[in-house]
Amino acid sequence: MPTPPGWHRPFDPVDALARAILFQQLSGKAAATIVARVETAIGSSRLHADTLGRVDDAALRACGVSGNKALALRDLAKREVAGEIPSLRRMAWMADIAIIEALVPVRGIGRWTVEMMLMFRLGRPDVLPVDDLGIRKGAQRVDGLDAMPTPGELAARGARWGPHRTLAALYLWKIADAAAGATQAVPRSQT
């Protein structure tokens, strides 16, 4: 299976998390439009505390950013300034669970978002996002189950797949996409 585009290439964790916040619960096209508006408003393609600080919440709202997402961006920026967001260099030496524990306290960043970063940006080989519906649907199909496995059931089954759970996740997504009749892979993350 070919590696996904962008797999394990250098990236900026704060910028990636800010974009993940902006892309949540929106179509890719709508989110890309909002991101472009924010970049124009801050005068930079780099979403960080220093650049986001150039605009107030009203300006973010005018770009199409919801109130909750504006609060999440402000929390991310505050934590960046406080040194709570690990750098890419530091993440290279951190265990997966340590990265998850460092980032999920950020408002608007959940475990799934961090797992996508671990898989698609850091190239970590042993991540199984058990809460992901596509992965659960793929496992349901593989096992011929009437219902999707619960996250706990999938975690227990997936324990045998270590240390290659990321590869298992990629296959489960492909299986779910094929079962749904998708003609191309469903985009999984903006992280």
Q: Comparing 49-63, 138-152, 170-184, which segment has the lowest mean pLDDT?
A: 170-184
Q: Is 107's pLDDT higher than 80?
A: yes
d(CA 125, CA 112): 16
- Are residues 101 and 109 in contact, defined by beta-carbon separation less than 8 angstroms? no
- Non-local (6+) Cβ contacts of 157 within 8 A are 139, 149
* Mean pLDDT computed over 31-46: 95
Q: What is the pLDDT of residue 28?
A: 82
What pLDDT, on a 0 to 100 scale, did the predictor assign at position 190? 54
- Is 90 exceeded by the pLDDT of residue 25? no
Residues 136-157 have a mean pLDDT of: 96
Is residue 94 pLDDT above 90, yes or no? yes
Name the band, by pLDDT with cuts 50, 70 and 90, for residue 180.
Answer: confident
Reported as a pLDDT band with limits 50, 70 and 90, residue 179 is: confident
The reported pLDDT for the residue numbered 5 is 56
What's this model's pTM, rounded to 2 decimal places?
Answer: 0.85
Section 120-129 average pLDDT: 93
Catalytic residue list: 132
According to the model, what pLDDT value does residue 27 have? 82
Region label for 9, one of left (φ > 0), alpha (ψ between -120 and 50) or beta (otherwise): beta
Backbone conformation region of residue 139, classed left if phi is above 0, alpha if psi is from -120 to 50, else beta: alpha
Tell me what the pLDDT averaged over the chain comes to: 90
Domains assigned to the chain: 13-121 (1.10.340.30), 133-179 (no CATH)
Q: How many CB atoms lie within 10 A of CB 4?
A: 16
Q: What is the pLDDT of residue 14?
A: 94
